[in-house]
Amino acid sequence: MIDLDAYFDRIGYAGPAEPTLEVLRELHLLHPAAIPFENIDVLLGHGIDLDPAAIDDKLIAAQRGGYCFEQNNLFERVLTKIGFEVEGLIGRVFWMAPPDAPPPPRTHRALKVRLDGEAWLADVGFGGAVLTTPLRWIMDEPQATPHEPFRLRQVGQEVLLETKLEAWTPVYRLSGETPEPIDYEVGNWFTSTHPKSKFRQVLMVARTTPEARYALLNNRLTIRPVGGPAERHTLGTEELIYALPEVFGLNASADWHETLAWVVEQGA
């Protein structure tokens, strides 16, 4: 179950609840602008509960953010409730990985939406490179978004998502197999608990609006305006505590402060 009215209020959507491409595009744009990507609970050692009620309490009622296993779980249930045909996907993240890096585990959840005989990639849970519009499920064709261009490429039995920065850059590679719920549980367990998981090592927070991308890596704040040069700022503890609500819409509770001070000590 999902409370659509509460979700629509959370992301600032006032349109119809109908399974159309226009609705899908509008929700996909508004979601990452309102619900930030963040791994604060992982750094605090609280773990990530994938029960739908827990996700709704956190991302909607508590005005928090989350990562892909939470974000796309919520988005899938919203789209399904509206009447879209939605299929879950799972993949390996290659974003900013060295070319010779070994294959990573499958730790990213995304969605395929079928509408009027066409398939679309939907994904509101990929941090600072999140899609802000669904992509047509077609290969080798660059597709414009409100931010950078993206494209899909067939690589064996998998589909690779790339984005155009200075050059085409890999983002993640989606499995050709339909995942089972246990696949998300295992991926979430690795991401939130394994000592080699990057989510256990650094603070990551991101929010993408139609005007800009905002991203925190530990205490380094990067702002990438659409069509403009990037700005980078190194934050102290008090500045970081201020930036979380002002930039990302996250109120830093008192039990976060010790971890945020540690984040500043680690630097970016």
Shortest CA distance to 38 belongs to which of 130, 144, 120, 145? 130
Shortest CA distance to 249 belongs to which of 67, 62, 45? 62
Side-chain half-sphere of 164: how many Cα atoms within 13 Å?
13
State the catalytic residue, choosing from 123, 147, 194, 255.
Answer: 123
State the catalytic residue, choosing from 49, 68, 255, 257.
Answer: 68
Contacts of 163 (CB under 8 A, 6+ apart): 129, 148, 149, 150, 169, 171
Task: Give the pair of three-digit tokens for residue 71.
Answer: 């974000």
Tell me, yes or no, if 41 is annotated catalytic: no
Tell me, yes or no, if 123 is annotated catalytic: yes
Q: Are strands 220-225 and 231-234 parallel, antiparallel or unpaired?
A: antiparallel
Distance of CA 247 to the CA centre of its chain: 16
**In what helix (H) or strand (E) does residue 122 lie, and over which residues does it extend?**
strand 118-122
* 260 within 8 A of 241, measured Cβ to Cβ: yes
Q: What is the largest CA-CA distance in the chain?
A: 52
State the catalytic residue, choosing from 28, 31, 108, 147.
Answer: 108
Tell me, yes or no, if 140 is annotated catalytic: no
d(CA 259, CA 67): 18
The residues assigned a catalytic role are 68, 108, 123
